[in-house]
């Protein structure tokens, strides 16, 4: 009869096998230190903010999200997140209707402008958010609807 210790070590071996085969859940695969897997697994803006330990976001004219009205292909959609306010700690980019809402987190040091541009994949037409997490705990956002003519998540 298998002992508990035996069963545990067997499951550890299985885990190693599965890890090698790339079948373990995403949480086990994240390897970069300090990577906030929970935030990147979250399905909604509210869940993302919770995973980041932040309060509910408020719309603000001091945060800007720049994105095209229409993306010819959802595989590559240029998005900019910026804020002219002092005291921005982090800027986030979210695509609301993506399988996971959070696309990127930028930490704003005093050496850089709170202004980042990147490109994201969009699975379908969706609101795109720029969220500014402030040093004083406030969370501010701006959003824009981006229409996607061809989804970019593959499959």
Partner 1 sequence: MTRILWAGAAAAIAASSPAVWAQQKSSAEGIAEYRAMLADGNPAELFEAKGEALWKTRRGPKNATLEACDLGKGPGVVKGAFVELPRYFADTGRVQDLESRLLTCGETLQGISAAETAATPFGRGEQANIEALVAYISAASGGMKFNLPQGNPEERKMFELGKRAFFYRAGSHGFACASCHGEAGKRIRLQDLPDLTKNPGNGIGFAAWPAYRVSSGELWGMQRRLNDCYRQQRFPYPGFGSDVTIALAVYMGVNAKGAESIAPSIKR
Partner 2 sequence: MADPMRIRAQMSGDKATVRVLMAHEMETGQRKDAAGKVIPAWYIQQVQAKLNGKDVLSAQWGPAVAKNPFLQFMIKGAKAGDKVSVSWVDNRGDTRTDEAVVS
Residues that bind partner 1 (CB under 8 A): 68-73, 75-76, 78, 119, 147, 149-150, 152
- State the residue for tokens 């859940």: 25
Residues 109-148 that bind partner 2 (CB under 8 A): 109-113, 115-122
102 makes contact, choosing from partner 1, partner 2, none, with CB < 5 to 8 Å by partner type, with partner 2
Residue-wise DSSP of 22-52: T-S-HHHH--STT--HHHHH--SHHHHHHHT
Strand duo 139-148 + 126-134: pairing: antiparallel
143 makes contact, choosing from partner 2, partner 1, none, with CB < 5 to 8 Å by partner type, with none
Tell me if residue 4 falls in helix, strand or coil.
helix
Q: Output 38 or 80, the one with its CB closest to partner 1.
A: 80
CB atoms within 10 A of CB 137: 9
Binding site for partner 2 (CB under 8 A): 22, 26, 29-32, 34-36, 39-40, 75-78, 95, 98-100, 102-107, 109-113, 115-122, 152-155
């Amino acid at each position: 009869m298998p002992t508990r210790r035996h069963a545990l070590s067997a499951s550890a071996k299985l885990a190693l096998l599965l890890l090698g085969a790339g079948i373990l859940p995403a949480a086990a695969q994240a390897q970069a230190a300090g990577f906030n897997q929970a935030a990147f697994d979250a399905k909604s803006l509210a869940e993302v903010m919770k995973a980041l330990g932040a309060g509910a976001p408020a719309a603000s004219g001091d945060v800007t999200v720049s994105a095209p009205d229409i993306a010819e292909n959802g595989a590559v959609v240029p998005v900019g997140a910026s804020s002219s306010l002092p005291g921005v700690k982090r800027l986030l980019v979210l695509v609301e209707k993506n399988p996971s809402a959070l696309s990127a987190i930028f930490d704003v040091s005093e050496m850089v402008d709170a202004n980042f541009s990147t490109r994201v994949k969009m699975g379908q037409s969706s609101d795109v958010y720029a969220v500014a997490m402030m040093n004083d705990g406030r969370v501010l956002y701006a959003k824009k609807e981006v229409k996607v003519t061809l989804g970019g998540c593959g499959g």
